């Protein structure tokens, strides 16, 4: 599946949405888009990873290079809606900062409905024998 990049660029911030798998074949396109965002905006860069099902180490390295460049320039990178696999792979590959900076993907879960507990009775049990 080809990877798609959607860019929203403003002078002080930029948003990049990625749809597809980030593997070796997508590395140069990712590097090119991130360089474009870095050079054409003065503020933060946000990357939406909600539709990224897989990322390999080459693309993790590209993200880490961007993060280091932005930090050195006093700017910030935000990774949003990352799937648990992204956080796991980035942590295992040694990109702990990328793993920690991701905003987890929002998953709506219906809470379990529990039956209310019956009230505790402090009633004395009537004796069947007269006193």
pTM of the model: 0.76
Task: Express each pLDDT in 20-78 by its tens digit.
Answer: 999 999 999 999 999 999 999 999 999 999 999 899 999 999 999 999 999 999 999 99
The angle formed by the CA atoms of residues 115, 118 and 119, to the nearest 5 degrees, is 140
The fold adopted by the segment(s) 4-104 is: Transcription Regulator spoIIAA (3.30.750)
3-state secondary structure of 17: strand
How would you classify the pairing of strands 13-19 and 102-104?
unpaired
Task: Express each pLDDT in 87-108 by its tens digit.
Answer: 889 999 999 888 887 765 544 4
* HSE-up of residue 46 (Cα within 13 Å, Cβ side): 12
- In angstroms, the CA 102 to CA 105 distance is 9
E-strand ranges in the chain read 4-9, 13-19, 44-51, 77-82, 102-104
- In angstroms, the CA 94 to CA 79 distance is 17
Domain boundaries, the chain: 4-104
Q: What is the DSSP letter of 25?
A: G
3-state secondary structure of 126: coil
| Residue 121 pLDDT | 54
- In angstroms, the CA 102 to CA 128 distance is 68
């Amino acid at each position: 599946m080809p990877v798609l990049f959607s860019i929203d660029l403003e002078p002080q911030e930029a948003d990049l949405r990625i749809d597809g798998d980030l593997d070796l074949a997508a590395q140069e396109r990712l590097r090119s888009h991130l360089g474009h965002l870095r050079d054409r905006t003065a503020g933060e860069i946000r990357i939406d990873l909600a539709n990224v099902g897989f990322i390999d180490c080459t693309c993790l390295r590209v993200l880490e290079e961007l993060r280091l460049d932005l930090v050195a320039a006093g700017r910030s990178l935000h990774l949003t809606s990352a799937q648990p696999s992204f956080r796991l792979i980035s942590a295992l590959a040694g990109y702990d900062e990328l793993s920690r900076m991701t905003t987890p993907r929002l998953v709506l879960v219906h809470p379990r409905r529990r039956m209310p507990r019956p009230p505790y009775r402090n009633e004395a049990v009537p004796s069947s024998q007269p006193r």
